[in-house]
């Protein structure tokens, strides 16, 4: 029940295309859903996050879509660029516990 | 501004040898501190977290231990390394539990041979 399942494991997109990564969770107590971006050899960094009181959050080319009833959320990267090539992790937590549970990660490659 | 440092960045150790990875945070006080391990294709696994000096919570029973001797220092240790301890170890901090945002260090890559 503590798991967050992420798909696909890897993704190849052409420059200018849309990258979509999906995550699903079971624990209905989760109330914070961030996405982290990690470049090779570096630690992950927060990209964008959402709470379950909204269904969508957009920051520049990055959008989180959240479906509370389906217990799913996804990251959309519009107009994908080669510089977006990285590993993306979804995560979830119960905010007053401070413990983030991460998905397995998606390696995104954007081809020029 | 706050910064987080981890060292060493890379470590190659034989099976059965001890381990000590260190993490320090600057620019904040009383942070929550975390150790995660990242194995290939398996995401980030929470190993330990700490809400204060000497307070350690273990998430996964294993060959590792953690200590927090000072407010902004977090140490990951092992007395005898196993092959399965190989991985990328990440220290992180957060300011309280409210936002859930973690700030990660650069990581320490451990190879056990």
A93 closest CB neighbour out of B51, B92, B100: B100
Q: Which two tokens stand for residue B107?
A: 């990581």
- More confident call, A53 vs A95: A53
- Model confidence over B70-91: pLDDT tens digits? 999 999 999 999 999 999 999 9
What average pLDDT score do residues B38-49 get?
Answer: 84
Q: Do A42 and B42 touch (CB under 8 A)?
A: no
Q: B75 near B14, Cβ under 8 Å?
A: no
Q: Look-up: residue for tokens 């706050």?
A: B2
Q: Is B40's pLDDT higher than 80? A: no
Q: Is B62's pLDDT higher than 90? A: no
Q: Do B94 and A98 touch (CB under 8 A)?
A: yes
Q: Is A2's pLDDT higher than 80? A: no
A4 min Cα distance to partner chain B (Å): 10
Residue of chain A with shortest Cα separation from B35? A99
A89 closest CB neighbour out of B43, B49, B96: B43
Residue B14's pLDDT is: 97
Phi, psi of A60 (to 5 degrees): 65, -125
Query: Which residues on neighbouring strands pair with residue A36, listed in sequence order?
Result: A46, A89
Q: Do A100 and B51 touch (CB under 8 A)?
A: no
Q: What is the mean pLDDT of chain A?
A: 93
* Measured distance CA(A81)–CA(A19) in Å, rounded: 10
């Amino acid at each position: 029940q503590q798991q967050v399942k992420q798909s696909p494991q890897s993704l190849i997109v052409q420059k200018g295309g849309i990258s979509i990564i999906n995550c699903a969770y079971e624990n209905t107590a989760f109330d914070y859903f961030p996405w982290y971006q990690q470049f090779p050899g570096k630690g992950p960094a927060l990209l964008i996050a959402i709470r379950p009181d909204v269904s969508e959050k957009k920051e520049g080319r990055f959008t989180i879509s959240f479906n509370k009833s389906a217990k799913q959320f996804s990251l959309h990267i519009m107009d994908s660029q080669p510089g977006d090539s990285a590993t993306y992790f979804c995560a979830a937590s119960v905010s007053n516990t401070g413990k983030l549970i991460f998905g397995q990660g998606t390696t995104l490659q954007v081809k020029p | 501004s706050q910064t987080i440092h981890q060292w060493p960045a890379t470590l190659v150790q034989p099976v059965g040898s001890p381990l000590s990875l260190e993490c320090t945070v600057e620019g904040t006080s009383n942070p929550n501190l975390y150790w995660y391990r990242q194995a290939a294709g398996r995401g980030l696994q929470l190993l330990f977290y700490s809400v204060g000096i000497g307070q350690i919570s273990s998430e996964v029973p294993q060959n590792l231990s953690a200590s927090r001797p000072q407010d902004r220092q977090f140490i990951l240790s092992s007395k005898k390394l196993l092959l399965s301890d190989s991985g990328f170890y990440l220290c992180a901090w957060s300011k309280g539990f409210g936002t859930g945002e973690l700030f990660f260090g650069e990581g320490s890559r451990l190879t056990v041979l």
